[in-house]
Amino acid sequence: MTNDSLLLDASQRLEQALKYTSISEDAIESLKFPQTSLNVSIPVRMDDGSLQVFQGYRVRYDDTRGPGKGGVRYHPNVSMDEVQSLAFWMTFKCAALGLPFGGAKGGITVNPKALSRLELERLSRGYIDAIADFIGPDVDILAPDVYTNSMIMGWMMDEYNIIRRHICPAVVTGKPISMGGSLGREAATAMGAYFVIAAMLPKFDQVPQATTVAIQGFGNAGGILAELMFAAGYQVVAVSDSKGGIYAKQGLDIPSVRRRKEATRGIQEPYCDGSVCETKDYDLLTNEELLKLDVDVLIPAALENQITEVNAPDIKAKFIFEVANGPTTSAADKILESKGIYVFPDILVNAGGVTVSYFEWVQNRSGLYWVLEEVNQRLKSRIVEEAEHIWAIARDLTVPLRTAAYIHAISRLGEAISAKGTRDYYVNGHGKH
């Protein structure tokens, strides 16, 4: 799938869910297009003295339920269409989790691994210089995403503070703890996914010791989730990163794999240059081969559009938990559904990150900070409650779990949009006191 069709494909999920809702025409019209899109050029003085200009983006899709919220992605394939699609997903993710945010997203078209740390800092600060009037703790809040981390978030917050001439930690979440970050934020996406998996699999009588798992993506989310599942007794038989993966039928020793992965990068480097497939103790396989393994649970935790109509017929897993954003295309969804595969959607499964980002935002604004146990308990309570709501909708309406998640989100968005007044209110006088 080309980037040009990403938002169109994402929008098809909305159309499917609308068949089961009764929200107003005004609400439907409002959700068809992003509210605001910004494209900026970021000039960066490179270490060799040359000037290089990078393209940056920030999209606020909808802010009916609150300020925009969404990460900033550094990747060579970042485009406006991709950022719009991610902002679209964030809109429904925040609504599905009942968070007081709208959806937003940002990104820079860059290969961050090719930059020095000084170049990376100049780029990050330059991005904030370009979009400072477009963001703020009551307007649009940034967070880490693919190839961005707490250090980069710290640079961004610091640059915003310099521009505004006051300390404003709530403009960015996912910051270092010493700069106002929340305990539990770094592991939040993985922790939230684990809570959903642990709550849903028992409904199918799946016990950890008898459940095989393959995880595509061994970065912050996939790596931490692999370790959580290993510790809980699940048989994690395969993991992969951008360079490839490893497989062991008897199950991998995940802590050992993570140590080896970590050992391939310098301790002070912001990015990993190594690969889990450099570990020699197991069979090697490609990312495509991992997706087709005969396992109980498949967890795509890398990039979007990994499961398509081309490879969906070969998927053998019984359950898919989407930790990446948009890893499954709408065409693939239909094939997976016909095969009886349960797909737990991204807007639920990976919502732990934005949920703890919300907690961080609340802590920044109140000046009161929570211990790790409180953060994780609040996360578990919220994400499991919403997972149960979505499960009930899917069961009661006999619809796929993704459609149920969108129905749940659309209902909340529709209520918020209608609260401002709709055509029915103004023309027919409904709602008059």
Query: Could you tell me the domains of the chain?
Result: 34-179 (3.40.50.10860)
Query: Which of 6-15, 242-251, 265-274: highest mean pLDDT?
Result: 242-251
Q: Is the pLDDT of residue 432 over 70?
A: no
Which of 420 and 116 is assigned the larger pLDDT?
116
Using pLDDT thresholds of 50, 70 and 90, give the confidence band for residue 32.
confident
pLDDT class of 242 with cuts at 50, 70, 90: confident
Could you confirm whether 105 is annotated as catalytic? yes
Closest Cα to residue 298, out of 419, 213, 233?
213
CB neighbour class for 433 (10 Å; exposed up to 12, middle 13-18, buried from 19) = exposed
Name the residue with higher pLDDT: 391 or 28: 391
385 HSE (CA, 13 A, CB side) = 9
Q: Residue 423: what pLDDT? A: 62
User: Residue 251 has what pLDDT?
Assistant: 92
Contacts of 318 (CB under 8 A, 6+ apart): 204, 296, 297, 341, 342
Residue 94 structure tokens: 């925040």
Strands of the 342-344 sheet, one edge to the other: 283-285, 244-247, 235-241, 212-216, 297-300, 319-321, 342-344
Give me the torsion for CA of 6, 78, 38, 43, rounded to 10°.
Answer: -160
The predicted pLDDT at position 270 comes to 41
Burial of 53 (0-12, 13-18, 19+ CB in 10 A): exposed
The stretch 327-353 carries a mean pLDDT of 94
| 264 vs 153, higher pLDDT | 153
For residues 310 and 290, what is the distance between their CA atoms, to the nearest angstrom?
Answer: 15
- pLDDT digit string, tens, across residues 263-285: 764 212 344 445 555 545 678 88
How far apart CA 366 and CA 267 sit, in angstroms, is 34
**Rounded (to 5) percent helix, strand, coil in the chain:** 50, 20, 35
Q: What is the dihedral of CA 174, 365, 406, 134, to 10 degrees?
A: -80
| Helices of type H across 19-79 | 25-30
pLDDT at 311: 94
Mean pLDDT of the 379-402 span: 96
Once rounded to an integer, what is the mean pLDDT over residues 213-223?
Answer: 92
pLDDT confidence of 413, banded at 50, 70, 90?
A: confident
> Does 2 have pLDDT greater than 50?
no
Given 105, 261, 318, 380, which residue is catalytic? 105
- Quick one: average pLDDT of 350-361? 96
Q: Which pLDDT score, from 0 to 100, does residue 269 have?
A: 34
What band does 167 get if pLDDT is binned at 50, 70 and 90? very high
Q: What is the mean pLDDT of residues 175-190?
A: 94
Q: Read off the amino acid at residue 327.
A: P
Distances from the Cα of 206 to the Cα of 210, 239, 272, 308, 433, angstroms: 7, 20, 34, 26, 53
Q: How far apart are CA 52 and CA 364, in angstroms?
A: 35
Inform me whether the pLDDT recorded for 341 exceeds 70: yes
